[in-house]
Structure 1
Amino acid sequence: MNGLGTRSRPPKETIGVSHRTIALDAGNYDLKFWNGAGHPRAIRSVRFQLPQGRDPVRFSDHSPLIELPDGTRYHFGTQAYKYRRQQQTVVENKVDLSRLHLYACLEPERDEQLSQFPLHVYASTPDPNRNAAEIKAQLMGVHEFKRNGIPFKVTVEHVEVEREGIGSYRYAQQLGLIPDNGYTIVVDIGGGTWLTRLVDAEGDVIDENVMDRGGSYELATSISFDRRLIDGLGTTVDPAIVMDGFKSGHVYADTGLSWSLWLEEYLDPWFKGIFQTIKAQYTPYMPRVTRFLVTGGSSHLIAERLAGRKLFAVMPDPQFANVRGLFPIAEGWQLCMTTK
């Protein structure tokens, strides 16, 4: 494997006061993005393509409306639930949506009537060997579109694509959560996927595993087939709404129906399945592992189980840990991630 995780500076001639930089973690559940200031933002990774004759419902920065030059329109975020048959990124190939996801996350400066600027993008993907070239091909170059009615003309000059989870590792280093010696296993549990990276004390990724499925959507799908929830609802259960419920008291939308009393029946085998797989893959390295770093937007589901365990550290604000570490702050230039 090559060093696709290595971070390089953009060419000097592209760096100027007028360019903007965005770190983009386009997850299966949320699109997370950060410009280096304030708190990172998130947009629910669901969309609806509006027919030409359909007026959109209310749009906002949290749920933006994107219009392409050919008139095609997409409404992203939670407002997409107000249409029938919205599309969920978690059941699609999110690499194919890289361009649209960038448009959804590019907010204008305050009071701008036309947003026109050069842009540097720092993104991540579970498998850069397979997907980095396609992501760069989609993002590099000139892009024209409207976001919430505001015209954008953006020239993407530089795209850096790193391993998903490595941003969390960098951020954990900044927070002092990584020991100075031994190996760290990064466990990134997302909506559609979960993955692991084995990182040594020098910052080299020496082994890794990416599970294309098995994230919280799989857990939500299992719960969606439970008769107790189906009977209470009186119809089929949408796993995507169950995923939303994972972050709001384990309640199904506004119905008042909850699976919290029997969640453990599903959570326990899901949790054990993940960590049994990790143990099997990294058995030879276990004596030298000094930290399990647990991160990702679905890690809150197992945080209580790991509390007090000496080897484990659960990232604070884990949903945004990866995107924070992607942003090229000064210290970040020195933390290069390579694979031997």
Structure 2
Amino acid sequence: MATATQARRTNKAQRAKSATTGQVLALDAGNYDLKFYNGHGHPKAIRSVRFQLPQGRDAVSYSDASPLIELADGRRYHFGAQAYKYRRQQQTVIENKVELARLHLYACLEPINGSVSEFPLHLYLSTPDPGRYEEGLQEELLGLHEFCRNGIDFQVDVQSVTVEREGIGAYYYAQTQGLIPDNGYTIVIDIGGGTWLTRLVDADGEVIDENIMDRGGTYELAASISFDRRLTDGLGTTADPCIVMDGFRVGHIYADTGLSWAGWLDEYLDPWFRGIFQTVKAQYTPYMLRVTRFLVTGGGSHLIADRLTGRSLFAVMGDPQFANVRGLFLLSSEQQLCMTTKSA
């Protein structure tokens, strides 16, 4: 009888065989950014914010970085930074990403060569818990999709959906960068917007333990900062944690106000950082003697990168925001190469 691992490999090989035709898109629908990569140029990102326009409301300007999506039933959604120009925009960080899977896909699909918008598509996705969400994602995404993006009508046939563990894409990408030792265990620490998670991976690339924290990502850090009187007194009102998250990328400044928490960030960052690594240590105590690398990745890892400098066991991914989606695309390429080699 085939093992579960063998069955998964067979299914992946079958999907990879079908992926030798059509377009391939790697999509990492994060709580802060929707990251996507089709193998050309640099991966792209769209802020995980959207606004549903009422029928009588005109949209503000749109772009590939802030696309306007119209569904067949007339509903319209504006994604990205432009969504902040409307009242009451919605944040992915506090919502169910499976229910939003179609909208996230539509936001990230660009026409081929700027004009071709009808094509078959093979998707590579990641989610913190594939066992829980894989079936739902496939039900949402497989099949024909018709929608309008930035005034262009799309007809896309999603022929396969491969769902991987979040963070494993970063592990595969790190291997290509020479960051993973040939022996021992690697602990992948993926710090995202809403969540953070860890994977314990052996030298064969097998995940042998994992821990998924539904809370504790950069949103929790931002929420703590948003209640600080040094910020709210300066604003004269409450602070939005999602705008604080934006500030993590641009000098720790709150929107256009000039108010900054950079001078007292460490008061919040240090306990947040220690909490993550104390949890990691407690989770993997029996394996610590065999750990040869801690791989730190995810969109929030830049906040702690300087604290890990010079520590030989730690490697922080370069361009960490896109490490996972790069690795997901590598998986599609490697599986196609594997099938081509076998058939030859």
Please, what TM-score do these two structures have when normalized by structure 1?
0.94
Deviation at 1:96, TM superposition (A): 1.3
- 1:233 is matched by which residue type in structure 2? L
Q: What are the within-5 Å matches in structure 2 for residues 228-307 of structure 1?
A: 228-307=230-309
Matching residue's letter, 2:13? S
Q: 8 Å contact 2:16–2:336 — kept in the other structure? A: no
Is the CA contact (8 Å cut-off) linking 2:297 and 2:317 kept in structure 1?
A: yes
Counterpart in the other structure of 1:226: 228
- Report the CA distance between 1:93 and its aligned residue: 1.2
Equivalent residues of 2:13, 2:335 under 8 A apart: no
Q: Secondary structure at 1:161's aligned position in 2?
A: strand
What residue in structure 1 maps to residue 106 of structure 2? Answer: 103
**Distance change in 2, residues 1:252/1:29 (3 Å):** same
- Correspondence for 1:120: 122
Give matches, 1:149-168, under 5 Å: 149-168=151-170
Picking from 3, 8, 13, the partner of 2:13 is 8
Whether 2:100 is the aligned partner of 1:93: answer no
Shift in CA distance, 49/283, structure 1 to aligned 2, threshold 3 Å: same
CA distance in 1, matches of 2:325, 2:130: 16
Identity of aligned residues (%): 72
Residue in structure 1 matching 2:61, options 58, 61, 65: 58
Q: Which amino acid aligns with 1:155?
A: D
Q: Distance in 1 between matches of 2:314 and 2:16?
A: 39
CA–CA distance in 2 between the matches of 1:13 and 1:116?
Answer: 18
Structure 2: segments with no counterpart, 5+ residues: 339-344
Contact kept, 8 Å, 1:170 with 1:332, in 2: the verdict is: no
Moved over 6 A (4+): none
Other-structure match for 2:39: 36
Q: Is the 8 A contact 2:221 2:272 kept in 1?
A: yes
Measure how far apart 1:294 and its partner are. 0.2
1:143-154 equivalent positions in 2, closer than 5 A: 143-154=145-156
Letter in 1 for 2:50: R
Structure with the larger RCO, 1 or 2 (CA within 8 Å, 6+ apart): 1
Check 1:12–1:329 CA distance in 2 against 1; reply closer, same or farther (3 A cut).
closer
Q: Residues 11 and 317 from structure 1, CA distance in 2 versus in 1: closer, same or farther, beyond 3 angstroms? A: closer
The two structures, once aligned, show a CA RMSD in angstroms of 1.7
1:9–1:333: 8 Å Cα contact kept in structure 2?
A: no
Q: Which letter does structure 2 place at the counterpart of 1:51?
A: P
Distance of 2:137 and 2:27 partners within structure 1: 12
Larger relative helix fraction: 2
> What TM-score, normalized to structure 2?
0.93
- Which string of whole-angstrom CA distances, capped at 9 and with x for unpartnered residues, describes residues 244-278 of structure 1? 00000000001000000000000011000000000
| 1:210 alignment partner in structure 2 | 212
Q: Is the 8 A contact 1:303 1:314 kept in 2?
A: yes
Gaps of 5+ in 1: 336-340
Q: How many residues align?
A: 332
Shift of 1:320: 0.2
Structure 1 residues 309-330: Cα deviation after superposition (integer angstroms, max 9, x where no partner): 0100000100000000001354
Q: 1:43–1:63: 8 Å Cα contact kept in structure 2?
A: yes
CA shift in 2, pair 1:251/1:213, >3 Å = same
Aligned partner letter, 1:246: F
* Offset, 1:110: 3.6
By how many angstroms is 1:10 displaced?
1.9
Counterpart-to-counterpart distance in 1, 2:126 and 2:177: 21
CA distance in 2, matches of 1:186, 1:37: 26
Question: Residue 338 of structure 1 aligns with which residue?
Answer: none
Counterpart contact for 2:19–2:336, Cα < 8 Å: no
Other structure's SS at 2:126 match: strand
* 1:5 Cα offset (Å): 7.4
How many Å apart are 1:13 and its aligned residue? 5.3
**C-alpha distance in structure 1 between counterparts of 2:20 and 2:171, whole Å:** 26
